[in-house]
């Protein structure tokens, strides 16, 4: 099976188009980067090692779709994908350590991914085995044979023969009844029959393991160690066949999977197709020659450097090489510029893509076109109350225009402004349904204007509400 998804760059862009309006350059770049991973895997051994990922920096104002692109990309890339806030490494307690934890988290993810894929491939067999175990449980308990009193050698021999006969007979009977039970079970006639079985009671709710500082760096998870020290508590429980089957299937599937192989595969997947999305990277790009917290920002960059350049990270599953992991960074870069990053790190992000500010026209499309468009969300929400919410075309244009105007007048927060404008607009309706209003509710341009006019015109008021 293909490790990476097999979408072509154009198909990737088409998928992203379903959720993100505009930003064509950014979509193109991530599509190329993603496809290049797939291409690299098909290059001959020697050259393949030399081909480095083209890490990307997405640059753009807030709320224009940077994170959204990453989020959607992660669903497309059938590859281990993790999003981390670069700024979190500057927080107290994070400085100077733990940057490698992103690779450990990515590896955890990959292992879970491979395990669930493998589980799916053995599912059928696991269900069969689970059904066999259910048959065992449903069988009546064995009866012991009657004892005989013997007084002579010949009598003893006679008795032994008889017992053997009897045992055979019994065996046959049991096989018969097994067959009967199996048939009934597979026919679905025993789903509500109760069985008793041991189930692992998960976790130790009373015990919280607090990881001492430093241990995490070794890639050792204390919880795992402690968890293994104390064997899982088993609890005997009565449940229906229909409830027991998934539990047994899970157990059988675990036995069928070669975990060592799965881990190997997962590590290879991280190394060759893993993607790290480094959000808010501008927050660690300190302007030069300033004292104070900037020192630690540069420190974080220095810590990041080896991970981005390629290093071995020690994880609980073994060594993971990061040379070919793809990094996509993103930031608004309002205050700092990519050139404020330390030169070595700049060099590791050769591709820079700028995202555009969103216009009122973009807002109209964002409100209506994406599969998860805000307007669609509100229509669906009110539909659950039997209310039909209808937006006039002009009303949508008006909402977009207002959002755009407020962005200009105050702070430009991009498409996030649509959320605040829409909630302010719909608040009364959302409150009045279903008690005071029902049926069809039409949103017209006049309604938008009249309900938002006061807020938009009063700058103080809009500062709080929009």
Mask of contacts with ligand ATP, 300-339, x by CB under 6 A? --------------------------------x-------
* Residue 23 binds ligand ATP, judged by CB under 6 A: yes
Residue 340 interaction partner, one of ligand ATP, Mg ion, none, beta carbon < 5-8 Å per kind: none
Nearest to 109 by CA among 308, 267, 296: 267
Alpha carbon 80 to chain centroid distance?
9
**54 sits near Mg ion (criterion: CB under 5 A):** no
Asked if 268 touches Mg ion (CB under 5 A), the answer is: no
Residues 142-181, one symbol each (x = binds ligand ATP by CB under 6 A, - = not), give ----------------------------------------
Structure tokens at 113: 């991914």
Minimum Å gap between C-beta 284 and ligand ATP is 14
Q: Considering the rule CB under 6 A, would residue 274 count as an interface residue with ligand ATP?
A: no
Neighbours of 18 (CB within 10 A): 11
Cis peptide before 403 (omega within 30 of 0): no
**Least distance (Å) from ligand ATP to the CB of residue 95?**
23
Continuous H helices in 322-392: 343-347, 360-368, 374-383
CB under 5 A: which stretch of 63-71, 161-169, 290-298, 299-307 binds Mg ion? 63-71
Q: Give the angle 181-186-192 at the CA atoms, nearest 5°.
A: 75
Residue 416: name its binding partner from ligand ATP, Mg ion, none (Cβ under 5 to 8 Å by kind): ligand ATP
Find all residues with CB under 8 Å of 153, minimum gap 6, and list them: none
Cα–Cα distance, 308 to 40 (Å, whole number):
18
Binding mask 404-423 for ligand ATP (x = CB under 6 A): ----------xxx-------
Between 21 and 387, CB nearer to ligand ATP: 21
Q: 417-421 contacts: CB < 8 A, separation 24 or more?
A: 417/63, 417/466, 418/363, 418/366, 418/367, 418/374, 419/374, 420/465, 420/466, 421/452, 421/466
74 binds Mg ion (CB under 5 A): no
Residues 371-410 as x/- pattern, contact with ligand ATP by CB under 6 A: ----------------------------------------
Q: How far is the CB of 106 from ligand ATP (least distance, A)?
A: 20
Q: Using CA atoms, how far apart are residues 156 and 148, in angstroms rounded to an integer?
A: 9
Query: Residue 444, SS3?
Result: coil
- Closest distance to ligand ATP from the beta carbon of 221 (Å): 30
Is the Cβ of residue 67 or residue 74 nearer to Mg ion in the bound state? 67
Residue 53 engages ligand ATP in binding (rule: CB under 6 A)? no
SS3 assignment, position 375: helix
> How, if at all, do strands 56-59 and 351-354 pair?
parallel
Under the binding rule (CB under 6 A), the answer on residue 437 touching ligand ATP is: no
List the one residue from 36, 41, 54, 67 that touches Mg ion (CB under 5 A). 67
Please tell me whether residue 22 binds ligand ATP under the rule CB under 6 A: yes
Count Cβ atoms below 10 Å from residue 414 Cβ, excluding itself.
Answer: 23
**Which residues lie near ligand ATP (CB under 6 A)?**
20-23, 60, 62-68, 332, 366, 370, 414-416
């Amino acid at each position: 099976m293909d490790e990476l998804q097999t979408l072509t760059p154009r198909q990737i862009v088409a998928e992203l188009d379903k959720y993100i309006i505009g930003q064509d350059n950014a979509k193109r770049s991530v599509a190329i980067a993603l496809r290049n991973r797939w291409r690299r895997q098909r290059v001959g051994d020697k050259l393949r090692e030399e081909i480095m990922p083209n890490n990307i920096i997405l640059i753009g104002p807030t709320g224009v779709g940077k994170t959204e692109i990453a989020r959607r990309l992660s669903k497309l890339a059938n590859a281990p994908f993790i999003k981390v806030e670069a700024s979190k490494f500057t927080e107290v307690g994070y400085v100077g350590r733990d940057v490698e934890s992103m690779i450990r988290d990515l590896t955890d993810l990959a292992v879970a991914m491979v395990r669930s894929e493998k589980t799916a491939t053995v599912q059928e067999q696991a269900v069969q085995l689970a059904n066999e175990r259910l048959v065992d449980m449903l069988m009546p308990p064995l009866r012991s044979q009657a004892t005989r009193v013997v007084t002579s050698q010949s009598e003893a021999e006679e008795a032994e023969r008889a017992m053997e006969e009897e045992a055979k007979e019994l065996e046959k009977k049991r096989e018969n009844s097994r067959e009967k039970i199996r048939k009934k079970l597979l026919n679905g006639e025993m789903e509500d029959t109760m069985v008793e079985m041991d189930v692992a009671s998960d976790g130790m709710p009373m015990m919280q393991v607090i990881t001492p500082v430093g241990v995490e760096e070794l890639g050792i998870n204390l919880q795992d160690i402690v968890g293994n020290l104390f064997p899982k508590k088993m609890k005997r429980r009565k449940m229906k066949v229909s409830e027991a089957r998934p539990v047994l299937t899970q157990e059988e599937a675990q036995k069928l999977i070669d975990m060592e192989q799965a881990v190997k595969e997962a590590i290879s997947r991280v190394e060759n197709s893993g993607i790290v999305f480094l959000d808010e990277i501008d927050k660690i790009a300190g302007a030069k020659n300033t004292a104070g917290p900037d020192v630690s920002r540069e420190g974080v960059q220095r810590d990041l450097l080896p991970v981005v350049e390629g290093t071995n990270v020690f994880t609980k599953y073994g060594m993971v090489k990061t040379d070919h992991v793809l990094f996509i960074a993103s930031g608004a870069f309002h205050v700092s510029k990519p050139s404020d990053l330390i030169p070595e790190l700049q060099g590791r992000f050769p591709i820079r893509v700028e995202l555009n500010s969103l216009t009122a026209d973009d807002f109209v499309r964002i409100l209506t076109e994406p599969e998860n468009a805000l307007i669609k969300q509100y229509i669906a929400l009110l539909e659950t109350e039997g209310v039909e919410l209808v937006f006039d075309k002009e009303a949508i244009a008006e909402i977009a225009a207002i959002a755009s105007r407020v962005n200009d007048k105050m702070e430009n927060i991009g498409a996030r402004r649509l959320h605040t404008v829409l909630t302010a607009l719909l608040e009364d309706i959302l409150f009045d349904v279903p008690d005071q209003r029902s049926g069809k509710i039409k949103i017209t341009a006049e309604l938008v204007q009249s309900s938002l006019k006061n807020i938009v015109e009063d700058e103080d008021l809009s500062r709080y509400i929009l």
